[in-house]
Amino acid sequence: HAILILNGPNLNLLGTRQPEVYGPTTLQDIEAICAAKAISLGVTVEFVQSNHEGVLIDRLHAARGVFDGIILNAGAYTHTSIALMDAVSSIMLPVVELHLSNIHAREAFRHQSYIAPVAIGQICGFGAAGYPLAMEALTGYLGTHG
Ligand code: DQA
């Protein structure tokens, strides 16, 4: 199986960005963790980050026929973007919603997710460890559904 890991705005700053919230791990470290996890799961992984909503939407569209499933940390677009929700609804691919922080334990505006209703599930609150957890969850899902 082929997995796309899509990271949204400000996640390129991980490591220096509010480490008390998001931890000390950089996005590059997380990419390496995911590459190692892919080998142990027997899947391939592509890791992408963009600060631009339209680029994220384009990458979701382009995933059709190329990837079997997607892990999406949409950053703050999670809480604002009906366009991203519509893109996820449109591509007919399983999407796991991911956040480093526990969005439900934070400000009220982070409690709403436009991704959650169109995702197969959500992982949040486990920091960088959520990425390999999401890969395991998606691989398990693909094993039974795809
Ligand atoms: C985040 C949570 C969002 O609320 C926030 O805007 C982010 C990161 C997370 O991974 O915890 O940018 O998606």
Q: Where are the domains of the chain?
A: 2-145
- Rounded distance from Cα 82 to ligand 1 centre (Å): 16
**Atom of ligand 1 lying closest to residue 102 CA:** 11
pLDDT per position as a tens digit, 67-103: 999 999 999 999 999 999 999 999 999 999 999 999 9
Predicted complex ipTM: 0.99
Pocket lining: 12 vs ligand 1, CB cutoff 6 Å: no
- Which residue has the CA at smallest separation from atom 10 of ligand 1? 99
How far is C-alpha 13 from the chain's CA centre? 16
pLDDT per position as a tens digit, 128-146: 999 999 999 999 999 998 6
Catalytic residues: 22, 99
One-character DSSP codes across 68-84:
SEEEEE-GGGGGT-HHH
DSSP-derived 3-state class of residue 13 = helix
Residues at the binding site for substrate are: 73, 79, 86, 100-101, 110
How many CB atoms are located within 10 Å of the residue 35 CB? 12
Cα distances (angstroms) measured from residue 24 to each of 35, 50, 79: 19, 20, 24
Please report which confidence band the pLDDT of residue 13 belongs to, taking 50, 70 and 90 as the band edges: very high
CATH superfamily of 2-145: Dehydroquinase, class II (3.40.50.9100)
Pocket lining: 110 vs ligand 1, CB cutoff 6 Å: yes
